[in-house]
Copies of this chain bind each other. A is one copy, B any other.
């Protein structure tokens, strides 16, 4: 009842019904467990993985390093996310996945994932779905980084994480755990550390969110999402036949 696939199954079940056979098929997947310290790389750019990595605990980020050394984090992964399911098809990693906090992860051989896709059309579509939700999140980030001012960028990210964590049962009512540094936050949002710091202060002064240490408090989610124009459609957090 508490195998490595619980949060992943929960993630899928936010989007569609699973039969017990389907759950069993997922649970039959072999999983090679590993742990990572903060800053370690789960998957390395330009490598050719033959496993995909399912995050079980902790936070990971997909980081892109530009030639001049600047870093952009293109996505944040939370427990229940495959961080590199796309590598099964892309073959070569176009970015690195780094542990933003201590992490546990399950590495699943691509050949076994392919077997699942071959045996169940429906699970195949659901795996596809998860990569396509990743892309929808990417688009939301493009809009945020391209067109929102700093404060709204921070707020939008927090709203997104709050709902995603809620979906896998990892949020408290008005609070979430997100133990990352302001400098990492800056690299997610395309901002400088200093500016992130000032944006956090503004949000705190407006009582929209209070970021203290590892915890974020959201006194009024509706107020925050309203203030930063957050629309949850893109997260696809509704069940329907896919």
Residues of A within 8 A of B (CB): 46, 62, 64, 66-68, 70-72, 74-75, 86, 89-92, 94-95, 117-118, 121, 124-125, 128-129, 131-136, 138-143, 145-148, 187, 189-190, 229, 233-234, 236, 240, 242
Contacts and interface: CB of A to CB of B under 8 A. Distances in A.
A146 B94 CA distance: 17
A132 B141 CA distance: 17
Contact of A138 (B139, B187, B233): B139
Given A90-B129, A142-B145, 16 more contacts: A68-B229, A72-B142, A86-B132, A89-B128, A89-B242, A91-B236, A91-B240, A92-B233, A94-B136, A94-B140, A117-B121, A131-B135, A134-B135, A138-B139, A141-B142, A146-B190
A139 B94 contact: yes
B242 A147 contact: no
B89 A147 contact: no
A23 B46 CA distance: 31
Contacts of A72: 142-143, 146-147
A146 B145 contact: yes
Contacts of A75: 139
A151 B142 CA distance: 18
A137 to B, nearest CB: 9
A96 B214 CA distance: 37
Nearest to A65: B143
Contacts of A68: 229
